[in-house]
Amino acid sequence: MAGSLYQDGGLVFATEVGTALEPSNIDRRSFESLLKKADLPDMRFHDLRHTCATVLLSEGVNPKFVQVFPGHADIKMTLGTYSHFLPSMGDQTAAAMESAPG
């Protein structure tokens, strides 16, 4: 619809003319109303990346795979930021040691 004004930047989510979305507009125009409709607490759109990483790690997904979602270049950042969400790590470590041959 934008015709020659459209700038195809290969973005998954873009404005009507193909440019990057303004983060504050996402929050104000769409995200806040979606949270209300879903009866969820107020949060920033940015918080979804933290939620995603936290859920994946708590479900036992390998941190190297989780690292991709928040866009961390270094696994140290992912583990340093989210390792406190892994209370079961101690139990998993003990179970692995108990089941190891030898």
Residues 55 and 95 in one domain: yes
Could you tell me if residue 19 is inside a domain? yes
The per-residue b/e assignment along 44-57, b for 16 or more CB within 10 angstroms, e otherwise, is ebeeeebeebbebb
Could you tell me if residue 24 is inside a domain? yes
Could you tell me if residue 9 is inside a domain? yes
Going residue by residue through the chain, which has 102 residues, state the pLDDT in tens, using 9 for 90 and above: 778 888 888 888 888 888 888 877 777 778 888 899 999 898 888 888 888 888 888 888 888 999 988 889 999 998 888 877 666 666 777 788 888 887
How many structural domains is the chain composed of? 2
Q: Where are the beta strands (DSSP E) in the chain?
A: none
Distance CA 70, CA 78 (A): 8
Could you tell me if residue 80 is inside a domain? yes
Residues 17 and 54 in one domain: no
Could you tell me if residue 42 is inside a domain? no
Could you tell me if residue 91 is inside a domain? yes
| pLDDT for the residue numbered 39 | 94
Domain extent, residue 18, equals 3-37
